[in-house]
C-alpha cells in the first residue's frame, strides 16, 4: 500500500508516519521509485503499537525505541524483555525514595517474607520504597498495614500476567504482550482498584439513609 493508505488504515497522520520513519521506529517501505515506497500490513501493526506506547503508555520516543528493540530481538530471554518494558514505562506519580529513608528497609523485609527473588536494579523497588517513605513522612504509617495484602495481590497479578503472556501465539507476540500488558495493566488495575474500593466502602461505611422528605422535595 502507499503512504496515504498506510496513514488511513493505521489512523496515524502522514507527517507523523514520516517522523517515525526518520526516527527509525518504523522500518522503511520497499522503494518503487525515487519518491515512492510501498508498505505492508506489518507497517500498520507497528504503527498501532507505536501510537499505543506513546498515547496510552506515555512513553518518550527514545523509550519507544528501546521497547521496539526488545520486541524485535526475538532471541532475547523473556525475563530481559520484562526488564526492558518495566524500565521503559515511566510512572509520573512515582515518589522518589528518600536516601536513608525507611522505604528500602521495609521493602527488603517484605521481599524476604514473600520469598521473592529480584534484582537490586528492579525499577519497582525505588517506586514502592518511595511510596512507603511518603506514607511514613506524612504520618500515615497505618497504611503500611495493607502491605502484606498488597504483596499477595501483586503475586496474583504477576502470575496472571505471565500466564497471559505465555498464551500468546508466538515469541514476538509474547514479547509484545509483555510490553503492552506492562504499560496498560497499571491503568487497568488502578481502574479496578477504584471500582472495588467503591463496592467495599458501600458495604463497610453505608451512607446515612436519605431524610424521609427528601424524595418528596424532588417531586
Closer by beta carbon to its own copies, 2 or else 140: 140
- Cα–Cα separations (whole angstroms), residue 141 to 84, 121, 166: 33, 26, 38
The three cell numbers locating residue 77: 530471554
31 membership: H or E segment, kind and range:
strand 30-31
- Cα–Cα separations (whole angstroms), residue 47 to 70, 186, 193: 16, 22, 31
Stretch that binds its own copies, among 21-29, 31-39, 63-71, 200-208 (CB under 8 A): 200-208
Residues 27-86 that bind its own copies (CB under 8 A): 45, 48-49, 52, 55-58, 77-80, 82-83, 86
Beta bridge pairs of residue 30: 38
Quote the least distance from Cβ 94 to its own copies, whole Å: 5
**Is 214 among the residues that bind its own copies (CB under 8 A)?**
no
Q: Binding residue for its own copies (CB under 8 A) from 91, 113, 171, 172?
A: 91
Quote the least distance from Cβ 213 to its own copies, whole Å: 19
Quote the least distance from Cβ 76 to its own copies, whole Å: 10
The three cell numbers locating residue 70: 526488545
**Is 170 among the residues that bind its own copies (CB under 8 A)?**
no
146 membership: H or E segment, kind and range:
none
Stretch that binds its own copies, among 14-22, 28-36, 63-71, 154-162 (CB under 8 A): 154-162
> Which residues neighbour 85 within 8 Å (Cβ) at sequence distance 6 or greater?
67, 70, 178, 179, 182, 183
* Main-chain dihedrals φ then ψ at residue 39, nearest 5 degrees: -120, 155
Q: Binding residue for its own copies (CB under 8 A) from 145, 170, 212, 214?
A: 145
The Cα angle at residue 126 between residues 120 and 130, in degrees rounded to 5: 150
Q: Binding residue for its own copies (CB under 8 A) from 2, 31, 137, 171?
A: 137
Per-residue mark of binding to its own copies, 117-136 (x: CB under 8 A): xxx--xxxxxxxxxxx-xx-
Q: Binding residue for its own copies (CB under 8 A) from 34, 99, 195, 219?
A: 195
The three cell numbers locating residue 135: 506514607
Number of residues that bind its own copies (CB under 8 A): 97
Amino acid at each position: 500500500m502507499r503512504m496515504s493508505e498506510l496513514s488511513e488504515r493505521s489512523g496515524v497522520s502522514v507527517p507523523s508516519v514520516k517522523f517515525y520513519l526518520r526516527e527509525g521506529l518504523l522500518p522503511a517501505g520497499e522503494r518503487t521509485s525515487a519518491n515512492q515506497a510501498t508498505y505492508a500490513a506489518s507497517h500498520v501493526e507497528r504503527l498501532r503499537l507505536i501510537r499505543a506506547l506513546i498515547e496510552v503508555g506515555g512513553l518518550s520516543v527514545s523509550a519507544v525505541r528501546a521497547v521496539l528493540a526488545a520486541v524485535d530481538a526475538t532471541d532475547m530471554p523473556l525475563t530481559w524483555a520484562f526488564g526492558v518494558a518495566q524500565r521503559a514505562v515511566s510512572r509520573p506519580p512515582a515518589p522518589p525514595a528518600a536516601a536513608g529513608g525507611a522505604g528500602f528497609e521495609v521493602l527488603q523485609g517484605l521481599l524476604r517474607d514473600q520469598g521473592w527473588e529480584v534484582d537490586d536494579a528492579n525499577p519497582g523497588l525505588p517506586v514502592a520504597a518511595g511510596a512507603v517513605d511518603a506514607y511514613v513522612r506524612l504520618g500515615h504509617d497505618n497504611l503500611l498495614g495493607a502491605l502484606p495484602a498488597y504483596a499477595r495481590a501483586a503475586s496474583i497479578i504477576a502470575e496472571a500476567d505471565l500466564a497471559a503472556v505465555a498464551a500468546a501465539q508466538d515469541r514476538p507476540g509474547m514479547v509484545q504482550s509483555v510490553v503492552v500488558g506492562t504499560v496498560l495493566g497499571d491503568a487497568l488495575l488502578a481502574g479496578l482498584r477504584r471500582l472495588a474500593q467503591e463496592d467495599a466502602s458501600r458495604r463497610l461505611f453505608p451512607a446515612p439513609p436519605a431524610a424521609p422528605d427528601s424524595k418528596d422535595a424532588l417531586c
